[in-house]
Amino acid sequence: MQTPSSEDASRPAIHLLPTEVRLVSGDLATAPHVEPHLSAHPTDPEVLLGTAITVAPTPNGDFRSDAFISTDAGRSWRRQQLNGCGTDPWTAIGPAGALYVSCHDSRTQDNQRLTGVSVHRSLDGGTTWLLPSAVPLASGGSVDQPKMAVDLSNGPRRGWVYIAVGQWVKLPAGGQTYGTVVARSNDRGATFSEPVLVHHDRLHQQPFGLGVVSDGAVVVSFMDYADNVGRLLHRRRSWTATSSDGARSFSLPALLWESRAQELTWAFSARATSAAQPQLHALLDAHWQRNGSGPQETSSSAPQLAPLSLLLSNDHGLRWQGPNPISDGPATSDAQTPAVAIDQRGVIGVAWYDTRHSSRDTGLCFDIYFAASTDGGSSFGENLRITPATSCPQNHAASRGIAQRWQFGGDYSGLAAGADGVFHLLWADTRRDVYQLWSAKVRVHQ
């Protein structure tokens, strides 16, 4: 009998809970569902809030997003249609259990049809939903990629709701730029302030993360992608900026990562529990596949990275440690559309779409994988395959069209840590030919 090594013994034990892989969107079995997001109640382990785009065009031709609510820790799910909820949905749950879903809306301003963002909310656990609250566009144009976070700290702004979006905005000195703006609500999402521009140059920038850490500081992460006339940059840089006054103003941004090859920072999380040290996490995808990025280095000077790595900061994003490898798949495999969450014990969980089971015969296929760290992100244990069957969306007529835009189920996926330490995953795959939502529960033992 082989004796386990000390390295194996130190790895966290990860268990996929029996019979806990569930079909979430089976009530609309022929409608594709993509771009899921998930939140867990901060104190009640039974309550989960998910959302996703339902690819069933509305009367005006746009897609809609629905909410999915579970009150039994993911054993069953109930769909909630949200009137006027467009694409790019995001979820959050407040300290008193208020449910929030943000998504795009369509509005007219100055005789122009613009894309905005509204917040749908329920104050009774999802039984009834209030009319959506529109986040002001101010003097700016359309928005994209909204992110949402709620202050769960015990500070004076506990319960405040924040929204970060990319938006065309006018500059005081003239001209305009596409940058990251942040709006705030101090009345549980009933109204929002005009957005504040997080600005330090005239490059085009897009947010990819928003969080509130345990001391109540608001941290937004964003990336450069084009110059002031729209030419794609040779290298993308990622930044973090912090606000200690409730998103009224932000610090000078600090550099998170500068790409030198195909790597890209993709997902972001903040440790929000009141008893924990403020901690930020960012995931680094080594093989970003979206077309349209600028020229990249292929020389030996480019970093040799695992398919997926973690960057972490304990000082509000001023300094970042890592990258620390997560994926144990072959270097040729991709780790796409990752998500990261941290539980109240400090265990870090990461989930992603992994292509290690693709082959020349099958084409590009994926499975969902999960890994965990019990030492603050310095190392990760063996990767756990979540999906019982590999998905190959290009091989099915029912999913091929959607895969042209959302090959890996969207621009993000769902992962949340429950109050009991169980990690919940929400993703889209094509094991039944159509992109459908599935959930799973994972427990990590230290």
pLDDT band at 286 (very low <50, low <70, confident <90, very high): low
**7-16, 72-81, 167-176, 260-269: range with lowest mean pLDDT:** 7-16
How many domains would you assign to the chain? 1
Angle subtended at Cα 407 by Cα 357 and Cα 168, rounded to the nearest 5 degrees: 140
In angstroms, how far is the first alpha carbon of the chain from the final one? 24
Q: Look at residue 117 and tell me whether its pLDDT is greater than 90.
A: yes
Angle subtended at Cα 265 by Cα 260 and Cα 270, rounded to the nearest 5 degrees: 145
What pLDDT sits at residue 296? 45
CB atoms under 10 Å from CB of 271, counted, come to 22
**60-64, 231-235, 305-309, 432-436: range with lowest mean pLDDT:** 60-64
pLDDT band at 403 (very low <50, low <70, confident <90, very high): confident
2 assigned to some structural domain:
no
Q: How far apart are CA 294 and CA 338, in angstroms?
A: 22
Task: State pLDDT tens for residues 197-230.
Answer: 998 888 899 999 999 998 899 999 999 888 888 8
What pLDDT sits at residue 303? 56
Q: What percent of the chain has pLDDT over 70?
A: 87
What pLDDT sits at residue 280? 83
345 assigned to some structural domain:
yes
31 assigned to some structural domain:
yes
Q: What percent of the chain has pLDDT over 90?
A: 55
Single-letter residue type at 395:
N
The three-state secondary structure class of 215 is coil
333 assigned to some structural domain:
yes
What pLDDT sits at residue 3? 39
Q: Look at residue 74 and tell me whether its pLDDT is greater than 90.
A: yes
pLDDT band at 91 (very low <50, low <70, confident <90, very high): very high
Task: State pLDDT tens for residues 323-350.
Answer: 899 999 888 888 888 999 999 888 999 9
Q: Look at residue 236 and tell me whether its pLDDT is greater than 80.
A: yes
What pLDDT sits at residue 362? 66
Most confident of 102-111, 152-161, 277-286, 307-316: 152-161
* Among 422, 425, 381, 378, CA closest to 13: 381
Phi, psi of 90 (to 5 degrees): -145, 150
10 assigned to some structural domain:
no
4 assigned to some structural domain:
no
Element (H, E) at 438: strand 436-445
**96-105, 186-195, 292-301: range with lowest mean pLDDT:** 292-301
11 assigned to some structural domain:
no
The three-state secondary structure class of 35 is strand
Query: What is the average pLDDT score of the chain?
Result: 86
Tokens encoding 391: 């998905």
Tokens encoding 229: 């006339």
Task: State pLDDT tens for residues 377-389.
Answer: 999 999 999 999 9
Angle subtended at Cα 236 by Cα 233 and Cα 241, rounded to the nearest 5 degrees: 125
CATH code assigned at 178 = 2.120.10.10
What pLDDT sits at residue 90? 97
pLDDT band at 275 (very low <50, low <70, confident <90, very high): low
What pLDDT sits at residue 59? 62
Structural domain range at position 307? 16-445
What pLDDT sits at residue 276? 56
What pLDDT sits at residue 201? 84
369 assigned to some structural domain:
yes
- Rounded to whole angstroms, what are the CA distances from 290 to 142, 263, 337, 358? 22, 11, 11, 18
- Do 239 and 222 form a contact (C-beta atoms < 8 A)? yes
Q: How far apart are CA 354 and CA 337, in angstroms?
A: 9
What pLDDT sits at residue 273? 57
Over residues 87-104, mean pLDDT:
96
Cis peptide before 4 (omega within 30 of 0): no
